[in-house]
Amino acid sequence: MNPALVRRSVIVLALLCAIGFPFVFRNPATTSIAFFTVLYMGAASAWNLFSGYTGYMALGNAVFYGSGAYFIANVTNHLDLSGGIGIFLWVPVAGLFSGIVAIPVGWLALRTRRHTFVVITIAIFFIFQLLAYNLQSVTNGSAGMQLPLPPWIAATYNDYFYFAALIAAVLAVVVSWTVRRSHFGLQLLAIRDDEDRARGLGVRTGRVKLAAFVLSGVLTGMCGAIYAYYLGSVYPPFAFEAIFDLTVALMAFLGGLGTVSGPVIGALLLEPLQQYLTQQFTAAGLSLILFGALFLVVIGFLPQGIVPSAEALSRRVKAARSR
Amino acid sequence: MTALLDVRGVTKSFGGLRALDDCSFAVEEGSIAGLIGPNGSGKTTMFNVVTGYERADAGSVVLAGNEITNAPPGRTCGLGVGRTFQLTRVFPRLTLLENLQVGRAGVPKAKRRELYSDARCTELLGFVGLADMARVQAGTLSYGQRKLVELATVLAQEPRVVLLDEPAGGINPLLITQIGERIRELNRRGVTFLVVEHNMEFVMGLCDVVWVMEHGTVIAHGEPGQVRRDPRVLDAYLGGALDEDDQEEPGERKEATR
pLDDT in tens, A222-243: 999 999 999 999 999 888 888 8
Confidence of residue A322 (pLDDT cuts 50, 70, 90): confident
Q: Rounded to a whole number, what is the distance in Å from the CA of A181 to chain B's nearest CA? A: 11
DSSP state of A48: I
B56: alpha, beta or left? (left if phi > 0; alpha if psi -120 to 50): beta
CA dihedral A3, A8, A10, A16 (to 10 degrees): -170
ipTM above 0.85, yes or no: no
- Do A202 and B103 count as a contact with CB atoms less than 8 A apart? yes
In chain A, residues with a C-beta closer than 8 Å to the C-beta of B90 are: 194, 197
What's residue A48's pLDDT?
95
Contact B112 A183 (CB under 8 A): yes
pLDDT at A319: 80
| Least-confidence region, from A173-177, A302-306, B4-8 | A302-306
Confidence of residue B239 (pLDDT cuts 50, 70, 90): low
Residue A188 has pLDDT above 90, yes or no: yes
Cα distance between residue B137 and residue B145, in whole Å: 12
* Assigned domain for A13 exists: no
**Reading across the β-sheet that carries B81-83, which strands appear in turn?**
B81-83, B161-165, B192-196, B32-36, B209-214, B217-222
Q: Are strands B17-28 and B3-14 parallel, antiparallel or unpaired?
A: antiparallel
Q: What is the mean pLDDT of residues B223-233?
A: 81
DSSP state of A143: G
| Min Cα–Cα distance to chain B from A208, Å | 10
* Range of the structural domain that residue A183 is part of: 28-246
Report if residue A151 sits inside a domain: yes
Give the model's confidence band at A56: pLDDT under 50 very low, under 70 low, under 90 confident, else very high.
very high
**Is B104 within 8 Å of chain A by CB?**
yes
Give the 3-state DSSP-derived string for A229-243, with helices as H, strands as E and coil as C.
HHHCEECHHHHCCHH
A185 → chain B, closest CA residue: B102
Residue A18 lies in a domain: no
pLDDT above 90 for B230? no
Nearest to A199 among B74, B83, B112 (CB): B74
Chain-chain contact of B102 with A203 (C-beta, under 8 angstroms): yes
- Distance from CA of residue B38 to its chain's centroid? 16
Compute the residue count for chain B.
258
Q: Which residues sit opposite B107 in a β-bridge?
A: none
Residue A311 DSSP SS3: helix
In a domain, A217, yes or no: yes
Give the residue with greater pLDDT, A54 vs A20: A54
The predicted pLDDT at position B241 comes to: 40
Name beta bridge partners: B7.
B25, B61
pLDDT for the residue B253: 41
Assess if residue A63 is contained within a domain. yes
Q: Which of B77, B94, B98 sits opposite A202 (nearest CB)?
A: B77
Mean pLDDT of B219-246: 69
SS3 category, B129: coil
CB contact under 8 A, A200 and B106: no
Confidence band (pLDDT; 50, 70, 90) for B1? Answer: low
**Count of domains in chain A?**
1
Q: Which residues pair with B25 in a beta bridge?
A: B7
Distance from CA of A293 to the nearest CA of B (A): 30
CA angle (B36, B41, B47) in 5-degree steps: 70
pLDDT at B252: 42
C-alpha to C-alpha distance for A299 and A294, rounded to whole angstroms:
9
Nearest CA in chain B to A55: B93
Let me know: does B92 contact B137? Beta carbons within 8 Å.
yes
Counting residues of chain A whose pLDDT is more than 90, the rounded percentage is 44
Round to whole Å and give the CA distance between B10 and B57: 7
Least confident of A223-232, B85-94, B105-114: B105-114
Q: Which residues of A are less than 8 Å from B106 in CB distance?
A: 202, 204
Q: What is the pLDDT of residue A287?
A: 74
Handedness of CA B58, B41, B180, B83 (dihedral sign): negative
In this complex, is the C-beta atom of B157 within 8 Å of any C-beta atom belonging to chain A? yes
pLDDT of res. B256: 40
Among chain A residues, CA nearest to B85 = A197
Structural domain contains residue A148: yes
With an 8 Å Cβ cutoff, are B101 and A186 in contact?
yes
Say what the pLDDT of residue B249 is.
43
Question: Nearest 5°: phi and psi at B185?
Answer: -60, -45
For residues A99-103, average pLDDT: 95
Single pTM value for the model: 0.86
Query: Does residue A164 fall inside a structural domain?
Result: yes
| Residue A16 placed within a domain | no
Q: CB distance A194–B89 less than 8 Å?
A: yes
DSSP B189: T
